[in-house]
Amino acid sequence: LNLVDVPGHERIRGSVVEEFSSSARGILYVVDSNTVAKQVRDVAQFLHTILANKAVNKNSPPVVVFCNKQDGGLAKTAQAIRTIMEKEIEKVRVTSSNQLEGLEGESTTTGVFLGKEGKSFEFKDLTNSVTFVEGSAADLDSLGNVKDWLVKIA
């Protein structure tokens, strides 16, 4: 099993996603449970970019969203993070759709539409299975769900 850590810098991470999107057997997306509400636009935008990638969509690898730093005092639960991510990805989806309309109504997007047309975005409507789990990278005992998932996709 090869793990690829995608860097945070936008210019670099896009090329890494493109390089590995067609061969990904799983996607582990890590969010900071303490700051996700403040950074939800960026977090949702990047996850949308990954999931809307044509190769990722065709391949449909399972996705685990790891809600990290659960030991922090301001940590949001996995369910709360799922809810705010769904709402924000809906906004991203609408914004992307509006921005990418050509002058003659033809779409110029290189990605795929996520979810179901005419319905608010929900992870359950994706072809990928998306699971949210809680833990803390600093506490190895809390990583059981992630370890089990890695074994399953290996």
- Evaluate if residue 101 carries a pLDDT over 60: no
Q: Nearest-CA neighbor of 113 among 104, 129, 101, 103?
A: 101
- Evaluate if residue 108 carries a pLDDT over 70: no
pLDDT of residue 110: 62
CB atoms under 10 Å from CB of 115, counted, come to 18
Confidence of residue 26 (pLDDT cuts 50, 70, 90): very high
The mean pLDDT of 13-40, rounded to a whole number, is 90
The mean pLDDT of 67-95, rounded to a whole number, is 94
Of the given ranges (43-47, 106-110, 121-125, 141-145), which has the lowest mean pLDDT? 106-110
The mean pLDDT of 112-133, rounded to a whole number, is 93
- Residue reference for tokens 């033809």: 106
Q: What is the pTM of this model?
A: 0.88
- Evaluate if residue 100 carries a pLDDT over 60: no
- Residue reference for tokens 């359950």: 124
pLDDT of residue 105: 52
